[in-house]
Amino acid sequence: MADVISPIPQRIVEAAVLAALEEDGAFDDVTTRALVPADQWGRGTFIAKELGMIAGLQVAAAAMSTLDSQISFDALVEDGTRVEAGTEIAEVEGPLGSILSAERVALNFLQRLSGIATLTDEFVHAVSGTGARILDTRKTTPGLRHLERYAVRAGGGQNHRFGLGSGLLIKDNHIRAARDRGAPDLETIIARARDASAHTMRVEIEVTNLEEVKEALAGRADVILLDNMPIDEMRRAVELIAGRALVEASGGVTLDSVRDIAETGVDYISVGRLTHSAPALDISLEVATV
Amino acid sequence: MADVISPIPQRIVEAAVLAALEEDGAFDDVTTRALVPADQWGRGTFIAKELGMIAGLQVAAAAMSTLDSQISFDALVEDGTRVEAGTEIAEVEGPLGSILSAERVALNFLQRLSGIATLTDEFVHAVSGTGARILDTRKTTPGLRHLERYAVRAGGGQNHRFGLGSGLLIKDNHIRAARDRGAPDLETIIARARDASAHTMRVEIEVTNLEEVKEALAGRADVILLDNMPIDEMRRAVELIAGRALVEASGGVTLDSVRDIAETGVDYISVGRLTHSAPALDISLEVATV
Amino acid sequence: MADVISPIPQRIVEAAVLAALEEDGAFDDVTTRALVPADQWGRGTFIAKELGMIAGLQVAAAAMSTLDSQISFDALVEDGTRVEAGTEIAEVEGPLGSILSAERVALNFLQRLSGIATLTDEFVHAVSGTGARILDTRKTTPGLRHLERYAVRAGGGQNHRFGLGSGLLIKDNHIRAARDRGAPDLETIIARARDASAHTMRVEIEVTNLEEVKEALAGRADVILLDNMPIDEMRRAVELIAGRALVEASGGVTLDSVRDIAETGVDYISVGRLTHSAPALDISLEVATV
Amino acid sequence: MADVISPIPQRIVEAAVLAALEEDGAFDDVTTRALVPADQWGRGTFIAKELGMIAGLQVAAAAMSTLDSQISFDALVEDGTRVEAGTEIAEVEGPLGSILSAERVALNFLQRLSGIATLTDEFVHAVSGTGARILDTRKTTPGLRHLERYAVRAGGGQNHRFGLGSGLLIKDNHIRAARDRGAPDLETIIARARDASAHTMRVEIEVTNLEEVKEALAGRADVILLDNMPIDEMRRAVELIAGRALVEASGGVTLDSVRDIAETGVDYISVGRLTHSAPALDISLEVATV
Amino acid sequence: MADVISPIPQRIVEAAVLAALEEDGAFDDVTTRALVPADQWGRGTFIAKELGMIAGLQVAAAAMSTLDSQISFDALVEDGTRVEAGTEIAEVEGPLGSILSAERVALNFLQRLSGIATLTDEFVHAVSGTGARILDTRKTTPGLRHLERYAVRAGGGQNHRFGLGSGLLIKDNHIRAARDRGAPDLETIIARARDASAHTMRVEIEVTNLEEVKEALAGRADVILLDNMPIDEMRRAVELIAGRALVEASGGVTLDSVRDIAETGVDYISVGRLTHSAPALDISLEVATV
Amino acid sequence: MADVISPIPQRIVEAAVLAALEEDGAFDDVTTRALVPADQWGRGTFIAKELGMIAGLQVAAAAMSTLDSQISFDALVEDGTRVEAGTEIAEVEGPLGSILSAERVALNFLQRLSGIATLTDEFVHAVSGTGARILDTRKTTPGLRHLERYAVRAGGGQNHRFGLGSGLLIKDNHIRAARDRGAPDLETIIARARDASAHTMRVEIEVTNLEEVKEALAGRADVILLDNMPIDEMRRAVELIAGRALVEASGGVTLDSVRDIAETGVDYISVGRLTHSAPALDISLEVATV
């Protein structure tokens, strides 16, 4: 699977890595400057310390090479690979001081992205065989959306719209606002939204009960988002929609609840915690002089 | 306690918030533009959905006002306050469309920072009465170090050095590098580091056994970092040091292990998971038209 | 109509205006500095010198206020208004030297955007009554896409996708590439594209003959783009599609040809020259001391 | 002629191209990502679709290589070459997906700059043999001044001052302001301007009648700008000046009127429409897989 | 005199000040944060500690207000004023911690710019009555050209061209290069330069002996720069030129030598040391709590 | 000595150099463009025109290569080398026009940094044999702190804290503020500061008399700064401190006074004039065509 993960544009990786190195003072590492001479060479191995899925090797590599272009980086596994504790996942070699100065930033990215991939992978496995796809949300870490969406892809998930400008999603508050301005039903609201937006976008609308599902179908919504609906009602909604629109479910989805949701027949399940609450995967860099 | 949290410089908050709004397409929210007219006014309430500690109200406020300076923001609690599920924590009022466009970014920051404050608060309570202080690490989210360090302060923790340029911390790899270049012991290494760095910095050195503690004391290290040491050995190290240096403990510290560590008498315990693995605190924004 | 034009986010306007003022050396106007003292006040009137439609008053205002916040700007008409030669469209008042230093940048934007609105308005009128809508394309001036899309809206046109990231449009070269990699027909290609992209995006595909129209319908394309098709074939394509997909026409569309195209029944006509070849509208600023 | 066109600094080209690629979403091309695998190679040919003069090959090349450094670009003609419809002007080869993602930006620049070069070339030919030189103005597209001035040079024109900081040009409004502050005549105004500005700058002044020409001569203006003057009066002004100052003509100059103006004996004719109203030259990119 | 100094554009001041505050860590002042609570108010007085001329009050004010908009700044003298040791030159009032955090940056600018103004003033006085004007050069501190040129103006000097793009100055190396490519004399070189550059620029040329002066006159140079010429030869050059060109002298000019140079009758004397070697003027900020 | 100077991170050098080249208009050098064809090659030698110490060759090299990567740069001496008038210090070779366009920026940096190194070297020699080390201060040129600190190191000096965020230094104004808020003595103030700041920082405190020295010792200050103290009192302070804290002296230190200060036994002497008043070292670039 790893071979089909669409990569992060290298420019975005480099910008993120450079900002992080500067934030960390990596170009002004007083300890390393005091103790590691420029001509001392070293080698390091990134090792997974627990079971999980790897994502972000491209970013770790960029952290090293941006700090010092003399550092070489060799990935020993591919992103999207499930590894056990103790697996060696990449090797670096170059000026030892530079490796030490870049280490923390490389690990900060690699651990976070691998944490997201690992959690996504768990959700994807939890729904396997159901036809439901796991989606991320806009609940990403500010500044890291491109990277975290990549980690979700690495974990086998699929990306929702990038942001507010790249997809039309009518949520409860939009509906409330429109009703307040005289829109009698979702059909009217969908028509209004469609009329005001690019013809290349689908219209997705959030509903909370079966009555709204009917209105959304009347408005020929392209995607219907069932938000925080009980499992039974969700199942009836799927039956009611009957393929006339794509169906997405959302709302506090956990590893405990995701399988039940998937079995209602929804097409997509969006999971905020993939990005807002994934714990980092424990990875370390073991360094030796050469 | 909340009244003594040193705030984040407003310029840093504004830069972070602006970048996040742009990343999210908040200035180009196609759905809101289609459905919410510019003259429709609204009001929203941020509500905690679970027990926790709040941090980041300044950031949430900036997200709103950066998107639209017509939005007013009133905090109902202060950062560093422990709240129960259902507590109203802040109110916004202004153009409804603007509130909706900024909502996700405001929440993404507020939930993440409150999550960190909540976890920090739990660690701080776990060691209460011992004299040990809880420290953060450099394992922060790339790009958010200033903000996450603030959340740690809000939670009652204390900050470690900001980055590689603002503190001298001789870690195992530096020691290995220096030994490789002929340094016979930690005393020599400390002297070398002290000689090469600013006289305003303390020297902290990482040790892994009692022999190294003795060498560090011989070198008159200002701070000795006991890394991944068994509790018993840690206790003997503290006795051996006997106030001649500050003592910090680190290494996979959890809520289960932190109290035992604190009771060894160490001065500081640094905890990576405060920032790399804190789950977001669940907070929502309830919106109404006015 | 002017009252419904969705505006350009002010931040984008300000960034564009600031860059233009710096490019023009407006903060270092040697002539004005030599001849106009800081306490000399002036007033100016923007006057249309030929028949056309106005767009960009917000940008002209920002050019003035960014150069000097003491300049006031009063629009006398709204964007999207058709004016005759001699119409006064806006007034400025403030430090005379500042008005002179900002004049060229204000006019450069206002003339260009009004030129685009004027041309768009002509196309919109040429198809009036047919149901076809006039779309812009990605053939905008590099750096000015947000502004030029606004001018198209001011002129009564509608915007196509913003860029390559915000809409799925399978063009002839994509089709060629996919066929080369074993895709037998458009149906397969559409399925492949749909599978790999966000579920919030419609799939639009470019076709050049009726056979391809059929394949696109088989693939349930959301939008079918008839590129450079003869009028008769276009009409047959519309009949064949019969409402099962939206239909867009494109390819060297001129004021001479656009009505015939519209009368084939297509839903959209995209016109590159709206932005790549619209001549500037002649507007001048008449200044007096006060 | 092409061999003497002073080029655009590469850094300016790269910055313009990068901003345009980002604006266009070229690093996030969802369609190409869905349909063109990274290992599919392609070749493309830029072909002029109508008669004109080429300018901007350096920019088109940079658009390609900035998107993907694996793309090679070979120009088949030089900038400043007049081509017929059907002429192949450049070839690219590299990853097909990258070529497609960069195509629009490359063409947007190339078509615009070639359009300006083509129009400039027409003006230059219209005055051939007269000794008058065709100048551009500050009526350029905001953000593209460096590039558009280059296109004017490519078309055989000459550049006026870059901006307000790099030349002293006393226009009617400056004169009005100075008179209002007690300057009795142009001689006084010229003296005042000369006194307040760098000794490396010439003084150019705008006049509208013969009386003002005399005052400008009395003030020993270096350049006299005849603005919107009737042809007869222009001729008398040139005779009156008699080589004591350079003479520039301006004001709504068209291809119809430019020859008559040139024959009055003026040294320079500045033409706003070179940059504010030149239609794009039609150029396409024909792509094939390899 | 102070009332006629053309100011630095506020935007340039703000950018310089912000960068300096960030460089100095002024938004992260650990000492002040530890010891000065946010509600402690203070007042400070800028006092000259030695005789000199003040320049840069606008910059010092911006340093304070950029750090904290609550700080008020009142200038007690104007830029360009000669002050004695002990003179109070400005007062600030606001949050004490903010005043302390911004103090160093405010003083760094104020002392440097006042140092330049002081030295310029000395040169200007040294030539008083001769008609010669004192010019700066491009030997400014990288990044501070706008500010240092202002300080020269404040000191009564005049600015030379801003940079390589805003004036034509043919120096010895250009002459050598042109001769190497077949230019027989300065007349030819001047003609070549004039032909290739904007008609709004004067041509200045550097000469080192009387023979070259003649060639420069033959070429009708607008300005002739006598570089490192002995006083006698300089006098003969001025006689030879006899008003047919402006005359500038340069080359290691000191306070000892400048009067003799001025008395040769040259129009301008450019002095590198105004900006590359002016010692800072000693100024302090005396702070009190309120 | 030159071999141990810790270098400036290349990224910082490149950013400084690029900004300076743009400020100087080096990418738009109208004279060079007019007179030096692109294919004319040249060679240049940097020559010291007076006795001094060289610093900044890395920066001069970057100025050349950033302007044109075809220019090669060979240093003939190392930074930190004392040279006599006439010493050749570096050679460049490449396109002549590019060398001329970058010359001024290369020299502006090289002369300034060498001026600082030269002055530092003089101070270091003045205290040789005493054990005192010469420190810089935060009185650097805004924007050039990294570079100027390097020049101090090249001259044999040592760097103080980088900025307000990287060291705790309690100055008179902080003391005054704290006393005003009820702190009875320096011991209390030191404790308060220590409590509120990172445990990796030493506490330095400024004192002005022996009484304060005692309080500082009672508070166990790590470093005591004797500010503007008479020599005799300084000697008594050193005796009183007796190795219990590091001792730094500051306050208007000159080459005349520095030896006496050093002989009191202080560990460090900080000298503002190293950076705020060092005259540039006279260096020229002699160019020849090849």
| Integer Cα distance of D234 and D264 in angstroms | 7
Q: Do chains A and F touch by CB distance (3+ pairs < 8 Å)?
A: yes
ipTM score: 0.94
| Integer Cα distance of E133 and E262 in angstroms | 8
Q: Using a CB–CB cutoff of 8 Å, tell me whether C169 touches chain A.
A: yes
C179 is catalytic: no
In a domain, F3, yes or no: no
Confidence category of residue D4, pLDDT binned at 50, 70, 90: low
| Chain F contact set for D162 (CB, 8 A) | 28
Task: Give the A:B interface size as CB pairs under 8 Å.
Answer: 223
Residue E208: CB atoms within 10 A of its CB come to: 16
CB A48 within 8 A of CB A83: yes
In a domain, B1, yes or no: no
- Distance from CA of residue C231 to its chain's centroid? 25
| Integer Cα distance of C97 and A95 in angstroms | 58
| Chain C contact set for D25 (CB, 8 A) | 162-166
> Does A73 have pLDDT greater than 70?
yes
Q: At what angle do helices A10-23 and A57-67 cross, to 10 degrees?
A: 60
| Chain D contact set for F28 (CB, 8 A) | 9, 162
Alpha helical stretches, state H, A78-185: 96-126, 145-154, 172-180
Q: Is the same domain home to C15 and C130?
A: no
User: What pLDDT was estimated at residue A2?
Assistant: 32
| Per-residue pLDDT tens listing for chain B (290 residues) | 234 577 888 888 999 999 999 999 998 899 998 999 989 999 999 999 999 999 999 999 999 999 999 999 999 999 999 999 999 999 999 999 999 999 999 999 999 999 999 999 999 999 999 999 999 999 999 999 999 999 999 999 999 999 998 889 999 999 999 999 999 999 999 999 998 888 888 999 999 999 999 999 999 999 999 999 999 999 999 999 999 999 999 999 999 999 999 999 999 999 999 999 999 999 999 998 88
E232 is catalytic: no
In a domain, B4, yes or no: no
- For chain D, the chains sharing at least 3 beta-carbon pairs closer than 8 angstroms are A, C, E, F
- Residues 6 or more apart from E94 whose CB is under 8 A from it? E41, E42, E64, E68, E70, E71, E72
Closest CA to D204 of D196, D195, D194: D194
In a domain, E213, yes or no: yes
Looking up residue C253, the CATH number of its domain turns out to be 3.20.20.70
- For chain B, the chains sharing at least 3 beta-carbon pairs closer than 8 angstroms are A, C, E, F
Q: Using a CB–CB cutoff of 8 Å, tell me whether A11 touches chain D.
A: yes
| Integer Cα distance of A30 and A28 in angstroms | 6
Nearest CA in chain F to D10: F27
| Chain A contact set for C268 (CB, 8 A) | 199
User: What pLDDT was estimated at residue A4?
Assistant: 56
Q: Using a CB–CB cutoff of 8 Å, tell me whether D23 touches chain A.
A: no
Q: Is the same domain home to C144 and C107?
A: no
Average pLDDT over residues A32-41: 92
Report the run of H or E that residue A15 belongs to, with start and end.
helix A10-23
- Residues 6 or more apart from A116 whose CB is under 8 A from it? A55, A148, A151, A152, A155, A274, A275, A278
B104 is catalytic: yes
Q: Using a CB–CB cutoff of 8 Å, tell me whether A4 touches chain D.
A: no
Q: Is the same domain home to F80 and F141?
A: no
Q: Is the same domain home to D50 and D144?
A: no
User: What pLDDT was estimated at residue D3?
Assistant: 43
Contact between D166 and E168 using a beta-carbon 8 Å cutoff: no
Task: Give the D:E interface size as CB pairs under 8 Å.
Answer: 68
pLDDT in tens, B203-255: 999 999 999 999 999 999 999 999 999 999 999 999 999 999 999 999 999 99
Nearest CA in chain A to D34: A6
pLDDT in tens, F175-193: 999 999 999 999 999 999 9
Q: Do chains C and F touch by CB distance (3+ pairs < 8 Å)?
A: no
> Does F165 have pLDDT greater than 80?
yes
| Chain A contact set for D33 (CB, 8 A) | 6
pLDDT in tens, D240-290: 999 999 999 999 999 999 999 999 999 999 999 999 999 999 999 999 888
Q: Do chains D and B touch by CB distance (3+ pairs < 8 Å)?
A: no
| Integer Cα distance of A281 and A117 in angstroms | 9
Q: Using a CB–CB cutoff of 8 Å, tell me whether C35 touches chain D.
A: yes
Residue B253: phi and psi, rounded to 5, are -70, 130
In a domain, A2, yes or no: no
- Taking each continuous run of H as one helix and of E as one strand, the counts in chain D are 11, 12
What are the angstrom distances between the C-alpha of A59 and each of A44, B43, B189, D37, E6? 16, 41, 33, 21, 50
Closest CA to D130 of D284, D249, D227, D219: D249
Strand partners, E227: E250
In a domain, B251, yes or no: yes
User: Residue B64 corresponds to which tokens in the numbers above?
Assistant: 């709103």
| Integer Cα distance of E53 and E119 in angstroms | 8
| Chain B contact set for A24 (CB, 8 A) | 138, 145, 163-164
Report the run of H or E that residue C135 belongs to, with start and end.
strand C133-135
Q: Do chains F and B touch by CB distance (3+ pairs < 8 Å)?
A: yes
Task: Quote the DSSP letter at residue B48.
Answer: E
Q: Is the same domain home to C88 and C146?
A: no
Tell me the three state secondary structure of residue A47: strand
Average pLDDT over residues A174-199: 92
pLDDT in tens, E12-67: 899 999 999 999 999 889 999 899 998 999 999 999 999 999 999 999 999 999 99
| Chain D contact set for C289 (CB, 8 A) | 176-177, 180
Contact between E163 and F25 using a beta-carbon 8 Å cutoff: yes
Radius of gyration of chain E (CA): 23
Q: Is the same domain home to C211 and C284?
A: no
User: What pLDDT was estimated at residue D2?
Assistant: 33
In a domain, C99, yes or no: yes
Confidence category of residue D70, pLDDT binned at 50, 70, 90: very high
User: What pLDDT was estimated at residue F290?
Assistant: 82
| Integer Cα distance of C70 and B96 in angstroms | 31
Residues spanned by the domain of B98: 10-118+279-289
Contact between E162 and C33 using a beta-carbon 8 Å cutoff: no
Angle ∠(E107,E111,E113) on CA atoms, nearest 5? 120
| Integer Cα distance of D212 and D218 in angstroms | 10
pLDDT in tens, C172-229: 999 999 999 999 999 999 999 998 888 888 999 999 999 999 999 999 999 999 999 9
A227 is catalytic: yes
Strand order in the sheet with E268-270: E133-135, E268-270, E246-250, E223-227, E203-207, E168-170
In a domain, B92, yes or no: yes
Looking up residue B99, the CATH number of its domain turns out to be 3.90.1170.20
pLDDT-above-70 percentage for chain F: 99
pLDDT-above-90 percentage for chain E: 88
Q: Which of F18, F27, F32 to mutate to test the interface with D (most CBs of D within 10 A)?
A: F27
Q: Is the same domain home to A155 and A253?
A: yes
Q: Using a CB–CB cutoff of 8 Å, tell me whether D163 touches chain F.
A: no
Q: Is the same domain home to B145 and B223?
A: yes
Closest CA to A63 of A121, A142, A147, A139: A147
Q: Using a CB–CB cutoff of 8 Å, tell me whether E105 touches chain F.
A: yes
Of the candidates D171, D176, D220, D244, the residue annotated as catalytic is D171
C214 is catalytic: no
Contact between D143 and C144 using a beta-carbon 8 Å cutoff: yes
Of the candidates F171, F220, F260, F286, the residue annotated as catalytic is F171
What dihedral do alpha carbons F105, F107, F113, F116 form, nearest 10°? -130
What dihedral do alpha carbons B110, B111, B117, B118 form, nearest 10°? 140
Q: Is the same domain home to D106 and D136?
A: no
Chain B nearest C-alpha distance from E252 (Å): 39
Domain count, chain A: 2
Confidence category of residue C4, pLDDT binned at 50, 70, 90: low
Q: Is the same domain home to A47 and A31?
A: yes
User: Residue F99 corresponds to which tokens in the numbers above?
Assistant: 């060398």
pLDDT in tens, C89-141: 999 999 999 999 999 999 999 999 999 999 999 999 999 999 999 999 999 99
Q: Is the same domain home to C114 and C163?
A: no
Nearest CA in chain F to A26: F9
- Distance from CA of residue C230 to its chain's centroid? 26
Of the candidates B82, B139, B202, B236, the residue annotated as catalytic is B139
Alpha helical stretches, state H, chain C: 10-23, 30-35, 57-67, 96-126, 145-154, 172-180, 186-196, 210-218, 231-241, 258-262, 273-276
Q: Is the same domain home to A57 and A173?
A: no
Closest CA to D188 of C34, A116, A166: C34
Of the candidates E33, E49, E171, E220, the residue annotated as catalytic is E171
Task: Quote the DSSP letter at residue E200.
Answer: T
CB A145 within 8 A of CB A162: yes
Which chain E residues in 40-79 lie under 8 Å from chain F, judged by CB atoms?
40, 42
| Integer Cα distance of F17 and F23 in angstroms | 10
Q: Using a CB–CB cutoff of 8 Å, tell me whether E96 touches chain D.
A: no
> Does C3 have pLDDT greater than 60?
no
Closest CA to F277 of F140, F104, F182, F76: F140
Q: What is the pTM of this model?
A: 0.90
Closest CA to B8 of A22, E17, E28: E28
| Chain E contact set for F36 (CB, 8 A) | 174, 177-178
Q: Which of E28, E66, E69 to mutate to test the interface with B (most CBs of B within 10 A)?
A: E28
Q: Using a CB–CB cutoff of 8 Å, tell me whether A272 touches chain C.
A: no
| Chain F contact set for B202 (CB, 8 A) | 199-202, 222
Task: Give the C:E interface size as CB pairs under 8 Å.
Answer: 6
Q: At what angle do helices E57-67 and E10-23 cross, to 10 degrees?
A: 60
Contact between B27 and C11 using a beta-carbon 8 Å cutoff: yes
Report the run of H or E that residue E213 belongs to, with start and end.
helix E210-218
pLDDT in tens, A202-249: 999 999 999 999 999 999 999 999 999 999 999 999 999 999 999 999
- For chain E, the chains sharing at least 3 beta-carbon pairs closer than 8 angstroms are B, C, D, F
Q: Using a CB–CB cutoff of 8 Å, tell me whether D31 touches chain A.
A: no
Which chain B residues in 196-255 lie under 8 Å from chain A, judged by CB atoms?
196-198, 201
| Chain C contact set for A8 (CB, 8 A) | none
Contact between F162 and A28 using a beta-carbon 8 Å cutoff: yes
The pLDDT mean for chain C works out to 94
Q: Which of D6, D13, D149 to mutate to test the interface with F (most CBs of F within 10 A)?
A: D6
Radius of gyration of chain A (CA): 23
